[in-house]
Each structure stands twice: as C-alpha cells, then as structure tokens.
Amino acid sequence: MTTELTDRSALTRARRRAATGEPALFLQEDAADDIQERLELVNRAFTAPAVVTPWPDLWRARLPGAKVIADDEVLALDEGAHDLVIHSLSLHWANDPVGQLVQARRALKPDGLFLGALFGGRTLHELRAALAEAEAAVTGGLSPRVLPMGEIRDVGALMQRAGFALPVADNMARTVTYADPLRLMLDLRAMGEANAMQARPRGFTRRAVLLDAARRYAEAYADEDGRIPATFETIFLTGWAPDASQPQPLRPGSAAQRLADALDTTEQTLDDPATPRRN
C-alpha cells in the first residue's frame, strides 16, 4: 500500500488559517506575473481559460471570466472545454502530479495551452539542511519537516508522461531575506505552505531543536547584516494538447540533404574505435 505524501486535510487547514489572517501571497503574485507575461508572448486570444489555484481571488482579478477551481485531487474541469489551463503554484502538493497534468490536458481543446508553476527542489534548501542537522544532533533522528520537491528534469519528464506536445520546463530562483528563521517559518504559515506532509511529526518541535536549527542556519548562511536568506525556486511548465496542425519531428533517415552540404563543409569519416590505428 502506497502512503500519500500530502495530508490534504492538513493542507486545507493551513490554507484556511493563512486566509483568515494576512496571507503572504507575494510568491503567488510573482508566479502569476510570470505566467501572464508568458501568455502575452503567445500570439493567440484565449476565450475559455481555466485556472487551478488555492487562491481564487488572486486569479479572478487577473483573468476575469476564467473558470477558477481548487487544486483538488480530482479537478472540476470538463473534458475538452478549455483552450487554456493554468495550474498556479500548487502542483508540488499533489499526491499524483502526473494525474493532475493528465486531467489538465484532457480539459484542453486540441492545440490548447497548458501553463503550470510549482516550487522546485532548491526551495528552502537552507531551512531543510539546518533543521535536519539540528534534529540529528539533538534527538539522534530525523523527521520530515520540509516538503520534498522535484528537480526540473524530473518535473519536465512528467509533462511527456502526461501526453503534452512540445513540452518545455524552465525555472527561476528568488532569494528572500529574513531577520531570523522564526520569521521565515511564520511567513510559510502565512503562505499556507506550512508542513502538511502525511508523515510529519504530530507533536510540537522541541525547543532545543529550533534553537539549534536557528544557530546553524545563521552560522551557515547569514549575510553581513545578520539576515538569513531563503531560496524559493519556481519551475514553469508549458505544453500543448496534441493537434495535427502542430510541428512534427521528421522520421530518422528522412532528411533530403546532408548536414555537411547545408553547412558547405567537407564531411570527414571518423575512425572506428574498434579498428587499430597505424602510426
């Protein structure tokens, strides 16, 4: 039996708690800005967009008329109903990310566009290291405290598995500085990004662990002003629902012209490595 990575009930509670206070959505805003910039580069008018997001108000203001839905495990999208699907900065919490991508592709019309954003593997690497080292030193063990996130090459491969045409994955990293690690942890709560893993420790973290983690974080990463950095890597995914009008790769061996002729150069045959060379 496979254990799910994310406790969806805990994630929902974390997001509701963030929403009732003053949510820190600057990373969500950044991702939305970047997605909109990418849309402006596409020479097409989208008439039936849909957005998957845990923060609907943010996207309703940006994309009026779009169908805005929650990032549930089963997405509330009709098959073939949209020419654009945006999955905005929540895919890293999915228990079945390929399933989320497949559902998004099926919701697209032929030649419809998918744009996704999620946190990547470099996110919070400083906090991850400090907590792991501190807990190992204080308790002699380790607990899952920071969500494991995918590397860009692995996330990009999921697009192919989901059946998207012309898939592209790229990334960007943003460094945010804080007065101390506690301020960072409070910000994560305000983002709705607190620990919601199924295997998370249910009790309070020992004070000695937190103090040692803060010390290690500062010693390893603090700048000259004593502020600590936190890295947030965002991976952006682009893909299209397959359609016959899209460019298709040529069959191997079907080229009508040699590369050497196209480059106006002389072709040289390499020696077979298995063939002995004469001096």
Beta strands at 49-52 and 82-88: parallel, antiparallel or unpaired? parallel
pLDDT band at 257 (very low <50, low <70, confident <90, very high): low
How many residues make up the chain in this entry? Answer: 279
Least confident of 47-56, 191-200, 239-248: 239-248
pLDDT above 70 for 265: no
Alpha carbon separation from 146 to 73, 75, 81, 141, 193 (Å, rounded): 21, 26, 36, 15, 10
pTM for this predicted structure = 0.85
Q: What is the pLDDT of residues 116-128, one digit of tens each?
A: 999 999 999 999 9
Least confident of 6-20, 95-109, 112-126, 245-259: 245-259
Mean pLDDT of 259-263: 60
Give the separation between CA 184 and CA 176, rounded to whole angstroms.
9
Q: What is the pLDDT of residues 186-228, one digit of tens each?
A: 999 999 999 999 988 887 788 899 999 999 999 999 999 999 9
What's residue 256's pLDDT?
A: 59
**C-alpha closest to that of 243 among 46, 115, 112, 111:** 111
pLDDT band at 143 (very low <50, low <70, confident <90, very high): confident
Mean pLDDT of 83-87: 98
Report the chain's mean pLDDT, rounded to a whole number: 89
Query: Who has greater pLDDT, 161 or 253?
Result: 161
What's residue 260's pLDDT?
A: 59
Query: Who has greater pLDDT, 204 or 53?
Result: 53
pLDDT above 60 for 269: no
Which residues have C-beta within 8 Å of that of residue 110, sequence separation ≥ 6? 241, 242, 243
Strand partners for 197: 6
Mean pLDDT of 239-245: 91
Which residues have C-beta within 8 Å of that of residue 68, sequence separation ≥ 6? 50, 51, 53, 56, 59, 60
**C-alpha closest to that of 236 among 171, 154, 150:** 171
pLDDT above 70 for 277: no
